[in-house]
Structure 1
């Protein structure tokens, strides 16, 4: 196989499974409320299952239990006042910390991140509506897709070759540009202030931080993918790591920037 063919060898499978994910995801975002809550809860539970399977592969039972607990906590949290939701969201991290035999800090940090991201996504959809949940998704997708093609077409210096050998600076920067374009589109169509462009780029960076963090964990554990649930993409953690970073970042900064900026 030539170097060019090898570079694009996974494209067809990635596009097919990626297209299916987009359709299912858009349906869930459009439906909102209980449908979206259930979808997010299931995804969060599966991500924790993948995480535990990577950290403690010999104990499938613990992975299943903690995944189910995480899904239940995520789903329940959105129906509770925030003051009661927060301890529910943190509980799976504390329970798993006591059950795992190694890599407890990694498990605890990532579990908190996953569940807070799930809560953040549900809150954006419930409080701000379909339009702004779509904006969040498009920022992350543009970062990933534009970065993927730019990195392979342009190449150049690697971002962090020891951890993520395929990620380039060209792909990283063009991911920011793609996110800025999404922000600019919503400035024009949704009447948001121009600060939304900067926020979109910041979320793009947070998305890439989530991606590189998950890559660093996989490199440390010696695994290629978090699971094989999604053909061409690996597992849900591999696919949604960017959404985790972006969602948690938006959850943190939202109260400080009166999001969406320039509206209401």
Structure 2
């Protein structure tokens, strides 16, 4: 008799018990028959694993482990089995009709390891991942595609990394290379903060702002970086003061907003 962990019934754990038959398979010989409610070599039901995988997208592994009352080392293998099933269902069609893709690298293991991720913007989902980052890793993605699949790509988005440009132009010369909005906004806000810091230092040198005194330029950092619709009344007053006293910083703010 085998037991499979199912979704909890209220606060009580629910286990399914069944004695699976042994069958003769032409390919594998004598083996245990599959059951419809669980994946092969899994001690959990499909419903249980689906919930664990969904929670793992929205919460850290430790939280998923505590909520579902399973060992944290079991969360990873559960997610892998669910992901393998999804890939089998999607098959080669996962790369069909790719038109607009985005690429970026993400770090894990406290920033010591990297993974390259490719997304399909039109369908809003990840289509490819691989350990590592850089030109050679991105080449592996394009090698996975057929010539027709590469030809269908019209837009490649990403940050300003040179290796993205080189790979995109080599494999998809017909595609347009676009910087993604997230990095553009990030660069614009960083540049604006440098202008603000320079304006504050210049005021200090000229003696306009005394050391320890409350200065509208120094105190306006968050007002300058926030979206216009999120400003408080006090922050709007700070921006009005900057518009009347510091033309350079005000122009930089307007450039960031545009």
TM-score normalised per structure 1: 0.23
Structure with higher helix content: 1
Bigger Cα Rg: 2
TM-score normalised per structure 2: 0.24
- Which of structures 1 and 2 has the larger relative contact order (alpha carbons within 8 angstroms, sep 6+)? 1
